[in-house]
Structure 1
Amino acid sequence: MFKLHGPKRLSDIVTGDETWFPFFIIPPKRLNRMWVDERGDRPVVLRPGFQSRKRMFTVFFNYSGPLLVDILPQDTTMTATYYVQNVPSQANSAINEQRPKVSTSRTLLLNDNAGPHRARATTQSLRELGIQVLPHPA
């Protein structure tokens, strides 16, 4: 597929994955230290797990950098339904913007083997958009 003068090039590969990022960062305890006088109350020092929130980011990128960053709404999980309704269409638009002459006809998507990526609805949606999925090793 990637032979010299073959039908595909490495620049046709788009890869993406999800990862959790902290919603806000709590400074280390040593940065929370301060001098207080005898009459003053000690300041409250937040513990790392206290009210710590995370958000899931889905990031797609190709040879030239990030194509799409999708932030999962708070208190939801990544499901095939959310993935199909939001991610492929946004990625398709980003690919068409970046490569208008080539479009998605040459695009190869490399995802991991997560459930939402392998779901029947996802594969059908990607097929309708003309995006070929590269097999990911186990």
Structure 2
Amino acid sequence: MFEPHGPKRLSDIVTGDETWFLFFIIPPKRLNRMWVDGQGDRHVVLRPGFQSRKTMFTVFFNYSGPLVVDILPQDTTMTATYYVQSVLSQVKSVINEQRQKVSTSRTLYLHDIAGPHKARATTQSLWELGIQVLPHPAYSPRLGTM
């Protein structure tokens, strides 16, 4: 498929994945300062007001760099419906802008085998767009040593 003068080029591949980013609010050191005398024990301060939150980012890119960065709204779950309506629609519009002369049928799509990626709604949407999905390589710790 990728042979010289073959039907596909590496520049046709679009890939992406999701990841969680954790945000921590840690108070400054000056809030933990206190004076203690020789007999007194220092109070233990365990990060007062410690809060953490996490946000899921979905990033798609091709040979030229990032195409789409989608941030999952708070209190939302990544589902096939969200993936198709929010993420894939953005990817499709960016591909169409970049390749005005070439249809999306040249696009090769590579993503992992997470639930929303292999759901019927996702595969149906990709098929309707004419985007070919590349098979995900097998997970094997021995692949790196061969």
TM over 0.5: yes
Q: What is the rounded CA distance, in whole Å, between the counterparts of 1:72 and 1:96 in structure 2?
A: 23
Question: Under a length normalisation based on structure 1, what TM-score does the superposition of the two structures give?
Answer: 0.83
Equivalent residue number for residue 7 of structure 2: 7
Equivalent residue number for residue 46 of structure 1: 47
Q: What is the rounded CA distance, in whole Å, between the counterparts of 1:36 and 1:100 in structure 2?
A: 64
**Is 1:33–2:29 an aligned residue pair?**
yes
How far does residue 73 in structure 1 lie from its aligned partner after superposition? 1.0
- 1:47 and 1:9, CA in 2 relative to 1: closer, same or farther beyond 3 A? farther
Equivalent residue number for residue 142 of structure 2: none
**Is 1:129–2:129 an aligned residue pair?**
yes
How far does residue 101 in structure 1 lie from its aligned partner after superposition? 1.5
- Return 5+ residue gaps in structure 2 as ranges: 37-42, 139-146
Identity %: 76
- Return 5+ residue gaps in structure 1 as ranges: none
Please give the secondary structure, in 2, of the residue aligned with 1:60.
strand
Q: What is the rounded CA distance, in whole Å, between the counterparts of 2:109 and 2:103 in structure 1?
A: 13
Contact 1:26 1:46 in 2 (8 A): no
Choose 1 or 2 for highest CA Rg: 2
How far does residue 99 in structure 1 lie from its aligned partner after superposition? 1.9
Equivalent residue number for residue 69 of structure 1: 69
* Number of aligned residues: 129
Structure 1 residues 16-49: Cα deviation after superposition (integer angstroms, max 9, x where no partner): 0000012x3434x7xx3224567xxx8x76379x
Aligned-residue CA RMSD (Å): 2.2
Q: What is the rounded CA distance, in whole Å, between the counterparts of 1:25 and 1:4 in structure 2?
A: 49
Please give the secondary structure, in 2, of the residue aligned with 1:88.
helix
Task: Output aligned runs, 1:52-131, within 5 Å.
Answer: 52-131=52-131
Question: Under a length normalisation based on structure 2, what TM-score does the superposition of the two structures give?
Answer: 0.79
Counterpart residue identity of residue 92, structure 1: K
Q: What is the rounded CA distance, in whole Å, between the counterparts of 2:85 and 2:65 in structure 1?
A: 24
